[in-house]
Structure 1
């Protein structure tokens, strides 16, 4: 449908019908049972006519239900418009993949794109049109529960993943390819910078930091063609995102040239009253529409007050028409005018959902995402060894995480099930192990199993509700009962392997005496099989951290790409009058990019094809890597740079390129990585992006701390 045709539709719509297109309601309003709608209708003080005309619907599940809702919507809508069915498909629909923070640890863009593509297929065949993903908030504070939804602490790595996710969700032809769904970029902007890691809290960042660290990943997704942007809950410079003209008119629309609609997060427009920048709902509606927020999710400030604003000032009709056009253009981009039921197919739904091939992909990606943090020559395990597996995360299906909306516990392969399927002598405890309380029975059982087996695999971690939205924690250790359980087991067991299931970096000081620690994250539907394959050595672990683990919570935020100070710690850590703590180092326990494998890889012969380059140039970085083991391994070669003299203080190191290579047993490869010098640009004092002439250090290694080789080059 051409834009002229969309404009013709808008011309025929009444002002109230236009306003209704800006409203998003939850699936509860579209149940077959009229009585079930009464409560939600009363809460929002809306009637059936408004429900019939609301422009989009949140959280519908199931192909037939989606078809029925769309059919009724079109029949009841005065202009026979289709609605858009949206949902939170964050890391899988029914086949649940590892959480996004774990996906970040794959350092594998193909894996991330595959996750998004399968998620789109399962979503679309179930009737959905759009997913509220990717979440591209840069994260540095593990106290914030929503680090689970981010891919990590680095703006470059996050930007690479942003493009992969958008491509996976949307494909190359969203309108024609009904196996794809539209992507929504969230949360604009800087939601991950909440002070104290407390959800919904104020964000206070300089504009330089905002532009250089937080905004690039959003822009990467927008440049990749993402169709929708969601506002953040937080304030920036004291202005809530949902009423922030600077963010949405100046940056998003003018600078990033985003043409699609903007949607508020749940109730975020009305919450501007709580923020103290709106006196009432009418005031909130005014701020939001002026800022360019087109869709109001689950509050009715627009529904109740936009017409009143229009009566007072005709400019609000122009803003309303602008918003309606963007919403209709999104429906057109999805092909809903021609094919309102799009990919919804009850028969195909049964074939596609949780298929064996999807399970296989989920397992392989989970294997790539797990990070081996410690290994004191115990892993991989001998399949003939006597192994006991127990702990509060051993036999539970709670391996999916807080955003696994459609996932089912009974479809998850547990850690115990995975180990039993691989090992010849694996004992699984039938005793209940609680996350927060040890019983006399469980402690007796733990000691018995620990003393009568060669190895204990102790599965510890968080419940799904302990990370995610509204799940901030001031103490990021394991629950005390689990620490006590570990210490008791450690005191009697020959060997202890800890498998962690969690949604954030933790303070692991209390389990540091484990013989091995595998960070499995919330690994998803096939988590247990993935854990088993790694522990038994069928898969060589390749995951590398995309977010640093602190020594303790007092270091937080701790991240790798810090700026130098006037009294740098690195120059003299033993001195008092340098920037440091007295009781702990400045360094993360496990830094960005870190992860062990069952192989040792050496780095040699770093070379650059030029030592002096131009500001618009490409430098070829060559390094020789050798697998010094008898097993296949995947190595992630990481390239960092440092701008030695900048207009503003520059980080000590910044990731600028990486490459994953597969090395056969004892294989040597010469690897070439291209570094575009435009990636060395940063935000200057006038807020422009530019590359400096001058000298740079280039460092190569397996993680952000162990940078084994270095060279210098200059730009002119």
Structure 2
């Protein structure tokens, strides 16, 4: 592979490019007009462009000189030629690239754009910064488990600043898809099944990526809410598959997180791969123009997903590339990612009168507006600094934040007999399982620039946490999917020689993420056999369940006295797990997704409808809404998670139980920690509309509070409900609120009774 390291000559060329930029037509037109006069300034520049140059601004390609894991994630980009790509920049046929190889690559490309292209319009550099750049944070699903939006804001801020230091202007994140089928692999990139939590995390991540100093700040990156829309509702959890949901479901469940992302300032949105009711999102003018533009007033940039316009042919919606281009562009996709269709076909479509010049100029204006907001027309090299790139990544501060975020993302499902936290001294610990040691499967899926090789594994974290590292043994026992010769025998021997067995099992990071739908969401059989054998030793077992989705647990895994779900925690995976395992940090996370009894229960979400035949409390009854084997509820529900404290809920107070049309209902409850360990409790408020013109879910999360309780401490938690909090999409597909009776719970999970009461909306 050619070595594209920056040279002294290239640095001098870059300096010359800055001089060239100072006198370029684009700078003269846009800088002179000022930001407040963007439309007129943009029109002046657009008027100088050829149709091909306009189409070039709307073309985004994978960088030929790719960075990190981008070669495997974007194979089409790996096969292209960097010199040829520079030629496209020179000719004005390329508006930006993504997942490139850092500041050196960006400097080369921007230099060509500034010195050698006709209009010297700056290039845009984008990347998939999903859960960290070089410092890798917990996968988004894990971070959602923290129930701490400010934590998500802080990690996104750190990731954005690192990415910007490497020359990146724009990230394809956050993913805000609601995911209610654990078979779908991309649920790992989002915030789970609940709309309120999804909205809060979308808002936090956008604000984090973009910072609070404006998009032109050198450490800000533009956010891109994705995937619009309902990608997480794919049939059978099969990635890229058909979506067929009602408009009411779109407006109640799948649209709100996007609206929150736009409310937080996201200037771009990505069209999803899936079709909705027979029309692919990439060519869905109702979705991209009627809803997004006219109803919501979104004035930012719409980008396709990777070859999304090309896939209109695969869908059977377009006959060929030319038609796919026309359909996607007229539906509202401003920028084409990776197919090259726009640069190939838009000039001819405009010449033939099939695409109006006004529509072409509108899309170009949006691209220029984004580049202007990012400060690229003021200084095209503002984020391109190879020296800064080396000094502002993986700092002591960002690694400490990764460890904090990791510990706050770990969910404790069980802790029978208070087995956890483990003592740091006096106990022999056997770490067993395919994830017990080794720099693999630590950072999780969909990370382009971070590596497992830079992450800290479990064995290292545990040995650093105990007083005597010699008291810790490490045995694989099995592979992830396959048995090892004599692996179980070695694991049994290790367990027998120890006081406690810590079993690190679950999914590899390649089993979650894009194109990783699973038909059976269970711990692989080879690891189940290992778990059964270790459990048979009679030694206390702690399960560390590595996963990017909810899993259906059974056998020795489910029956283990203690289960922690560490997900994929990133750069500080091992130390973060050790912090919780030994009680330096108490477990405080809660499930953002429901763990089902069995795969066949999927799709499952806690806020399902009751149906006309609910099973009453107690044993399963015939001809009621449940499976033969279990009730219509989760094994471990949304919101579930234990602490090292002993938490009690008492003294529910809802006043007179009446909420007037313009009033406020105040709900109070006392939460106490009667245990001997400090704890953080996530107190959750759920509501059920008893009778409405549209049937309502069995419970809906309306608010939550995360509180810290010392041993013996009691706090009163207060929630407020207003009429708007009880809004739903009515029969006319408009938001409405109806008077009536409501049930209410202040509880530790979506299935826990907690404290319950009722109120009336006047």
Q: TM-score, normalised by structure 2?
A: 0.90
Tell me the residue number matched to 1:475.
520
Q: Any idea what SS the aligned residue of 1:348 has? A: helix
Please give the per-residue CA displacement for 1:640-685, whole angstroms capped at 9, x wherever unaligned.
Answer: 1111111100011100011111111210111222223312111011
> Contact 1:140–1:557 at 8 Å: present in 2 too?
yes
Tell me the residue number matched to 1:380.
421
Which range is displaced more, 336-345 or 414-423? Answer: 336-345
Instruction: State yes or no: 1:319 paired with 2:362.
Output: no
Please give the per-residue CA displacement for 1:92-134, whole angstroms capped at 9, x wherever unaligned.
Answer: 1011111111111000011110111000110011110111111
How far does residue 50 in structure 1 lie from its aligned partner after superposition?
Answer: 7.5
Tell me the residue number matched to 2:697.
651
Which range is displaced more, 611-620 or 625-634? Answer: 611-620
Which range is displaced more, 394-403 or 187-196? Answer: 394-403
CA distance in 1, matches of 2:66, 2:574: 37
Instruction: State yes or no: 1:669 paired with 2:709.
Output: no
Q: Quick one: structure 1 residues 264 and 51, their matched pair in 2 at CA, closer, same or farther if it must change by over 3 Å?
A: farther
Unaligned runs of 5+ in 1: none
How far does residue 180 in structure 1 lie from its aligned partner after superposition?
Answer: 1.4
How far does residue 615 in structure 1 lie from its aligned partner after superposition?
Answer: 3.1
How far does residue 624 in structure 1 lie from its aligned partner after superposition?
Answer: 0.9
User: Which of 506, 519, 532 in structure 1 is aligned with 2:551?
Assistant: 506
CA distance in 2, matches of 1:48, 1:554: 50
Q: Any idea what SS the aligned residue of 2:55 has? A: helix
How far does residue 39 in structure 1 lie from its aligned partner after superposition?
Answer: 4.6
Instruction: State yes or no: 1:144 paired with 2:190.
Output: no
Tell me the residue number matched to 1:409.
452
Superposition map of 1:348-427 within 5 A: 348-377=388-417, 378-384=419-425, 385-397=427-439, 398-425=441-468, 426-427=471-472
CA distance in 2, matches of 1:504, 1:464: 11
Please give the per-residue CA displacement for 1:689-708, whole angstroms capped at 9, x wherever unaligned.
Answer: 11111221221011111131
> Contact 1:53–1:77 at 8 Å: present in 2 too?
no
CA distance in 2, matches of 1:432, 1:578: 44
CA distance in 2, matches of 1:431, 1:611: 57
Q: Quick one: structure 1 residues 37 and 568, their matched pair in 2 at CA, closer, same or farther if it must change by over 3 Å?
A: closer
Instruction: State yes or no: 1:10 paired with 2:46.
Output: yes
Instruction: State yes or no: 1:556 paired with 2:598.
Output: no
Q: Any idea what SS the aligned residue of 1:268 has? A: coil
Superposition map of 1:534-573 within 5 A: 534-570=580-616
CA distance in 2, matches of 1:50, 1:188: 33
How far does residue 47 in structure 1 lie from its aligned partner after superposition?
Answer: 6.5
Please give the per-residue CA displacement for 1:9-28, whole angstroms capped at 9, x wherever unaligned.
Answer: 00000011001111001111
How far does residue 41 in structure 1 lie from its aligned partner after superposition?
Answer: 6.2
How far does residue 432 in structure 1 lie from its aligned partner after superposition?
Answer: 7.5
Which range is displaced more, 524-533 or 185-194? Answer: 524-533
Q: Any idea what SS the aligned residue of 1:447 has? A: helix
User: Which of 310, 314, 318 in structure 2 is aligned with 1:274?
Assistant: 314
CA distance in 1, matches of 2:47, 2:725: 46
> Contact 2:149–2:201 at 8 Å: present in 1 too?
yes
> Contact 1:383–1:422 at 8 Å: present in 2 too?
yes
Please give the per-residue CA displacement for 1:140-178, whole angstroms capped at 9, x wherever unaligned.
Answer: 111100010110101111001111111111122323421
Aligned length: 711
Please give the per-residue CA displacement for 1:371-395, whole angstroms capped at 9, x wherever unaligned.
Answer: 0111122111111211011210111
Tell me the residue number matched to 2:246.
206
Q: Any idea what SS the aligned residue of 2:586 has? A: coil
User: Which of 679, 682, 691 in structure 1 is aligned with 2:725?
Assistant: 679
Instruction: Please tell me the root mean square deviation across aligned C-alpha atoms, in Å.
Output: 2.0
Tell me the residue number matched to 1:614.
660
CA distance in 2, matches of 1:433, 1:345: 46
Instruction: State yes or no: 1:135 paired with 2:171.
Output: no
> Contact 2:282–2:333 at 8 Å: present in 1 too?
yes
Unaligned runs of 5+ in 2: 1-34, 68-75
Please give the per-residue CA displacement for 1:599-646, whole angstroms capped at 9, x wherever unaligned.
Answer: 111111111255222334432221111111122211111001111111
How far does residue 562 in structure 1 lie from its aligned partner after superposition?
Answer: 0.9
> Contact 2:140–2:189 at 8 Å: present in 1 too?
yes
Please give the per-residue CA displacement for 1:455-514, whole angstroms capped at 9, x wherever unaligned.
Answer: 011111211111000000101111111001111111114111111111111111131121
> Contact 1:633–1:663 at 8 Å: present in 2 too?
yes
Tell me the residue number matched to 1:59.
99
Which range is displaced more, 375-384 or 421-430? Answer: 421-430
> Contact 1:615–1:692 at 8 Å: present in 2 too?
no
